[in-house]
Amino acid sequence: MIAVGAVLLYAALASGVLATIALCCYGRRGRTIAISPNYVLMPVRAAFVLISTAMCMMVRYFIYGEYSVLYVWQYCSNDLSLLYRIAAVWAGQEGTYLLWAWASVLCVWLMMEEYGFRSPLHRRAELIALAISIFILVLCIISEPFEPIMGRIGYIPADGNGLNPVFITIWMVLHPFTTFISYTATIVPASAAAAHLITGRAGWHRISKQWIRISWFAISVCMATGGVWAYKLAGWNGFWCWDPVQTATLVLWMLTTAVLHILARYHEGRDYTTIAPVSTIFLFITTIYITLVTRQGIFHSLHDFPGTPTAGLLVLGILAGSIVAIGLGIAKFLRTRVATAPKKSIFSSKNTFLVTAGLLAIIAFICFWALTYCFISQHGFGTKIIIPSDFFNVWCYIPVILLTVATGVCMLHTRITDTGMKYLLALIFVSSFLLAMIPTHKLLDPGSEFYLSSSAAVKLLGSISIWSSIPPFAFALGGILYKLVRDLSRTYGRLRLRSTGVNLIHAGFILILLGAIATTSFDTRASVVYRVDELGTSKDIGDGWS
């Protein structure tokens, strides 16, 4: 019975390949045999039923403690409650691959049922999405989630290894699940964007927008639950500590947010004609990158696994996807003639959205570069490097401040004149410059190893006082509050609900940034040594604390 799960995965893979062949034949000019849509839909439905059965089987194994399966023994135990037995399904890489494969096939099936095969754009997008789901299914099969334990130890244990105590929390139920929902939701937009670049057909962004919003919401929930989890249980003394995998997830969140802003202003032949579809493709490529970083392991990360047999395939997927995306983007750029738009205010939504997307991309690149350097050093040259949090704090600070200012400008555009905005920005930057010279709460500790070994430019940036962030954050929060009150008084119904949601999302983003800066820059640490006979007593640690 154990081998049934593996058989189901292989059968789902065969069904996916069959659907791909049928879709390649569907709609071909000059074909001698008419291909019915059912020849494509039926194998996809079969693949979904097969992998859903495999997923349900794995859940059943965890519920009933089927320790004849190696993966179940590794993460389940008799003392776990029902809720945590189910959550343990995605505690390891085999289970997360199975969850990812199941969700990807579900997305392809929903995509075909929703859009059908009515245009070359839809058919090509569905073909690409099928290929992606097959790729993820192959990753799942290679990881062997249904491997028998008898092949390892020769007997079936009466109890399992169980979960790490840190994982026995409600956040374990939500955090990994929403992570892979966000990964999966990028498949349809990336496929539609690639199909647009290949066929030249319009309408891809209408397919992509809703899926990207789902991905953005899921990755936001993932980061929020992960932050609460870290604050309460993981001993990070805050919700953010620049953990490598946490930082890699931030890259996806930044890029997803940037793409949402780009698509809000996208207009074929005029605005973001090339960058919009190319950046959408890179959303999915980023999910493969995060998977590689997590599965292959980065030194000193709470999230990493010891290694994965899928590393080579993941690297191949990243390289192939990047080459295809860049190649299609260059071809699109060369054949596109962009219409000249009339000049508008320097603070127009078009310009502020462009600046916002650019700053988000810069922050994402800083994080990506640090992680990639660390990853290549560790796995390419055998040198284990820990990227200190000081690196991210010092290089991301200026882009974050500028992003905060851009948020305020976006909120207040058309509410005040351009001249008034220029004077207001001048006041903000002058105030920030003066506050930056306050000799307390600097970005970098002058006595830290990172500061002492840094260049003069980094030391100059590190000497900036965190107090310089107050004017930009006050400006952004004030602008958001003003727009929120104004929209509530002038809008009704669904428009009021939409505008309120947008305003609250921006307010939450600014408050999270402010909280991240405060928790990493205004904390104070002290060490206390207790003897056994002193337990239960209080000791003074200085500055009025005990």
37-60 pLDDT, tens per residue?
A: 788 889 999 999 999 999 999 999
Fill in the amino acid letter for 203: G
* pTM of the entire predicted model: 0.87
413 three-state secondary structure: strand
Q: What whole-number distance in Å separates Cα of residue 349 and Cα of residue 355?
A: 10
> What's the confidence (pLDDT) of residue 234?
53
465 three-state secondary structure: strand
- Residue 160 near residue 121, CB atoms below 8 Å: no
Q: Which CATH architecture has domain 1-166?
A: Up-down Bundle (1.20)
Residues 6+ apart with CB under 8 A from 420: none
Burial (CB < 10 A; 0-12, 13-18, 19+), residue 231, is: middle
Q: In this structure, what DSSP letter does residue 532 have?
A: G
Burial (CB < 10 A; 0-12, 13-18, 19+), residue 223, is: buried
The candidate with the shortest Cα–Cα distance to 513, out of 359, 301, 373, 386, is 359
Fill in the amino acid letter for 427: L
Q: What is the 3-state secondary structure (H, E, C) of 149-216?
A: CHHHHCCCCCCCCCCCHHHCCHHHHHHHHHHHHHHHCCHHHHHHHHHHHHHCCCCHHHHHHHHHHHHH
Query: Which structure tokens are listed for 172?
Result: 């374990």
Q: What whole-number distance in Å separates Cα of residue 400 and Cα of residue 262?
A: 19
| b/e sequence 34-54, b meaning 16+ C-beta within 10 Å | ebeeebbbebbbbbbbbbebb
**Residues of the chain under the 50 pLDDT cut:** 1, 30, 32, 236
Q: What torsion, rounded to 10 degrees, do the Cα atoms 301, 303, 304, 309 define?
A: -170
Token look-up 């049922």 returns: 113
Query: Which structure tokens are listed for 320?
Result: 């192939």
Q: What whole-number distance in Å separates Cα of residue 295 and Cα of residue 19?
A: 30
Q: What whole-number distance in Å separates Cα of residue 414 and Cα of residue 347?
A: 9
Residues 6+ apart with CB under 8 A from 527: none
Alpha helices for 26-80 (secondary structure H)? 38-63, 70-75
Domain with CATH 1.20.120 in the chain: 1-166
Q: What whole-number distance in Å separates Cα of residue 177 and Cα of residue 475?
A: 36
> What's the confidence (pLDDT) of residue 336?
75
- Residue 321 near residue 285, CB atoms below 8 Å: yes
> What's the confidence (pLDDT) of residue 201?
87
Q: What whole-number distance in Å separates Cα of residue 179 and Cα of residue 87?
A: 13
Residues 6+ apart with CB under 8 A from 320: none
The number of residues making up the chain comes to 546
Q: What whole-number distance in Å separates Cα of residue 107 and Cα of residue 113?
A: 10
